[in-house]
Chain A
């Protein structure tokens, strides 16, 4: 009974895995896959171990290495969003402006109430005369 083992480096391109090269040595293929991973900027890389069993006449395959790189998502994940690096003063500007507007309205209302009260007071004072 003999088992033949081969290793394939596969590269993910244009939506599918393509065989890049074939080796017979596990240490050599892993070395080359890691070297390719470090040089390649956008390709995903994996290594498939293929074992052919003479006795059963069957081939089995399993992934023994997969590069850590992943395809960039269409929109950045929440954890990857850029932090707000503006100074505190600038970041608080919108709220400060909002606070300032409310304050002006309150002061305006108080002023109107004071004027109306003054008019009523003067009218009643004039009536007593």
Chain B
């Protein structure tokens, strides 16, 4: 299901949809565990999701899972790589770089920014980073979701084509 196929009234913004899902599987104040995630329950956004493994990799998280849409946007499958070893100008490296803040604050963070990809095109993205924990307290993974659009000159209102 693409965003265009969503039922009327359903939240369209990826960052809020993933946040709503995260809240729905959360028990009281405890963080949900990685095992609580159900890709079928968020099939429309699962392709835009990334799971970062923090446990033992606090300074340089490992990409534990990479959704299909993210693979396309990055141009390769970065599963098994760390943030520092992923291509420097891809969405994962630039779109999920606030994990340190989420780790320090211990709350979900939603933010947007821009960067220039390897083709020199400006990429505008919005991401959400959400804590996961096996024991409900110690953050061991992050569920992330990110999407973007390319700010190509010939696609901006057609006036620079």
Contacts and interface: CB of A to CB of B under 8 A. Distances in A.
A25 B126 CA distance: 10
Interface string A17-44: 0011111110010011001000000000
A28 B107 contact: no
- Greatest chain B CB density within 10 A among A24, A31, A35 is at A24
B119 interface: no
Is chain B's interface secondary structure helix, strand, loop, or mixed overall? mixed
Nearest to B13: A28
Interface residues of A, number: 12
A20 B20 CA distance: 13
B152 to A, nearest CB: 23
B109 A21 contact: yes
Contact of A32 (B16, B109, B112): B16
B15 interface: yes
Given A31-B16, A32-B16, A32-B19, A25 B110 contact: yes
B111 A24 contact: yes
Interface in B93-129: 101, 105, 107-112
B110 A22 contact: yes
Contacts of A32: 16, 19
Given A24-B112, A25-B112, A19 B107 contact: yes
A47 to B, nearest CB: 13
A41 to B, nearest CB: 14
A57 to B, nearest CB: 18
B16 A22 contact: no
Nearest to B28: A13
A3 to B, nearest CB: 16
Interface of A: 13, 19-25, 28, 31-32, 35
20 contacts: A19-B105, A19-B107, A20-B107, A20-B108, A21-B19, A21-B108, A21-B110, A22-B105, A22-B108, A22-B110, A22-B111, A23-B110, A23-B111, A24-B110, A25-B111, A25-B112, A28-B13, A28-B15, A28-B110, A32-B16
Interface of B: 13, 15-16, 19, 29, 101, 105, 107-112
**The 3 A-B residue pairs with the shortest CB-CB distance in the complex, in nearest-first order:** A24-B111, A21-B108, A22-B109
Given A19-B107, A24-B111, A25-B112, 18 more contacts: A19-B105, A20-B107, A21-B19, A21-B107, A21-B108, A22-B101, A22-B108, A22-B111, A23-B109, A23-B110, A24-B110, A24-B112, A28-B13, A28-B15, A28-B16, A28-B110, A31-B16, A32-B19
